[in-house]
Chain A
Amino acid sequence: MTRILFPAVLLFASILHADIPQALRQINSLKPEGQGNEKASAAWKELVQAGPDALLPILSATGQGGVVADNWLRLAANTIADHAAKQNKTLPLQDLEKFLRDTTHDPAGRQVAFDLIHASDPAKADEIEPELLNDPSQELRRGAVQKLIASGKAALAKKDEMNAKLIFHQALDASRDEDQVKVIASSLEGLGEKVDLPRHFGFLMKWQVIGPFDNTKRSGFDTVFPPEKEINLTASYPGKTGQVKWQPFESTQDYGKIDFNKPFGLLKEVTAYATTTFDSATERDAEIRLGCKDGWKLWLNGQLVFGRDEYHRGQKMDQYKLKCHLKQGPNVLLMKCCQNEQTENWTVEWEFQLRICDATGTAILAFAK
Chain B
Amino acid sequence: MRTSLLALWFVLAAASTSRAADWLQFRGPDGSAVARDGKLPDKLKINWTAELPGRGLSCPIVVGDKLFVTCASGPQQERLHVFCFSAADGKKIWERQLKATGRTMTQSKTCVAAPSPCSDGKHVFAIWSCNDLAAFDLEGNLLWLRGLTMDYPNVSNSLGMAASLLTVGGVVIVPVENDSESYTLGIDAKTGTNLWKMERPKAANWSSPVVWRPKDGTPPDVLLQSKDGLTAVEVATGSTLWNYAEGASTMSSSVATPDLILAASHGITALLPQTNGAPPKQLWRIEQMNPATASPIAVNGHIYAINSAGVLVQAAIADGGRGWKLRLKGPFSGSPVATGDRILVVNEKGLVQVVDTTAPEGAVLSELQLPLREKDLVLSTPALSGDHVFIRSDGNLWQLGAAP
Contacts and interface: CB of A to CB of B under 8 A. Distances in A.
Interface stretch (B23-31, B146-154, B383-391, B393-401): B146-154
B140 A310 contact: no
A170 B335 CA distance: 49
Contacts of A314: 105-107, 158-159
B191 interface: yes
A4 to B, nearest CB: 35
B18 interface: no
A68 B151 CA distance: 10
B204 interface: yes
Contacts of B153: 306
A41 B192 CA distance: 10
A319 B103 contact: yes
Contacts of B190: 38
A313 B218 CA distance: 41
B351 to A, nearest CB: 30
Contact of A79 (B75, B142, B204): B142
B99 A74 contact: yes
B144 A34 contact: yes
A154 interface: no
B183 to A, nearest CB: 12
Contacts of B143: 41
Contacts of A48: 141
A34 B192 contact: yes
B97 interface: yes
B324 interface: no
Interface in A299-325: 306, 308-311, 313-316, 319-320
A71 B150 contact: no
Interface in A23-74: 32-35, 37-38, 40-41, 44-45, 48, 66-68, 70-72, 74
Given A142-B75, A179-B75, A310-B179, A68 B140 contact: no
Contact of A68 (B97, B101, B191): B101
Contacts of B106: 314
B132 A71 contact: yes
A316 B158 CA distance: 9
A153 interface: no
Contacts of A79: 96, 140-142
B140 A72 contact: no
Given A70-B99, A309-B180, A35 B193 contact: yes
A74 B147 CA distance: 14
Interface string B86-100: 000000001111110
A319 B104 CA distance: 9
B340 to A, nearest CB: 39
A32 B197 CA distance: 14
B194 interface: yes
Contacts of B193: 33-35, 37
Nearest to B101: A67
A75 interface: yes
Prevailing SS type, chain B contact patch: loop
A115 B179 CA distance: 36
A34 B142 contact: no
Interface in B163-213: 178-180, 187, 190-194, 202, 204
Contacts of B179: 309-311, 313
Nearest to B79: A115
A18 interface: no
Given A67-B101, A179-B75, A310-B179, A32 B144 contact: no
B145 interface: yes
Residue from the set A44, A68, A70, A108 with the largest chain B CB neighbour count within 10 Å: A68
A40 B144 contact: yes
Contacts of A316: 105
B146 A82 contact: no
A177 to B, nearest CB: 6
Given A45-B141, A308-B154, A34 B96 contact: no
Residue from the set B132, B141, B153, B158 with the largest chain A CB neighbour count within 10 Å: B158
A40 B146 CA distance: 12
A89 to B, nearest CB: 16
B32 interface: no
A308 B180 contact: yes
Contacts of B97: 74-75, 78, 115
A4 B101 CA distance: 44
Contact of B158 (A35, A115, A293): A293
A311 B190 CA distance: 37
A103 to B, nearest CB: 19
Interface in B67-88: 75
Given A34-B192, A71-B145, A314-B107, A177 B75 contact: yes
A346 to B, nearest CB: 11
4 closest residue pairs by CB, A with B = A313-B158, A68-B147, A34-B193, A314-B158
Interface of A: 32-35, 37-38, 40-41, 44-45, 48, 66-68, 70-72, 74-76, 78-79, 82, 108, 115, 142, 177, 179, 293, 306, 308-311, 313-316, 319-320
27 contacts: A32-B151, A33-B193, A34-B194, A37-B144, A37-B192, A37-B193, A41-B142, A41-B144, A44-B142, A67-B147, A71-B98, A71-B99, A72-B142, A75-B134, A75-B142, A75-B145, A79-B96, A115-B97, A142-B75, A308-B154, A313-B159, A313-B179, A314-B105, A314-B106, A314-B158, A319-B158, A320-B103
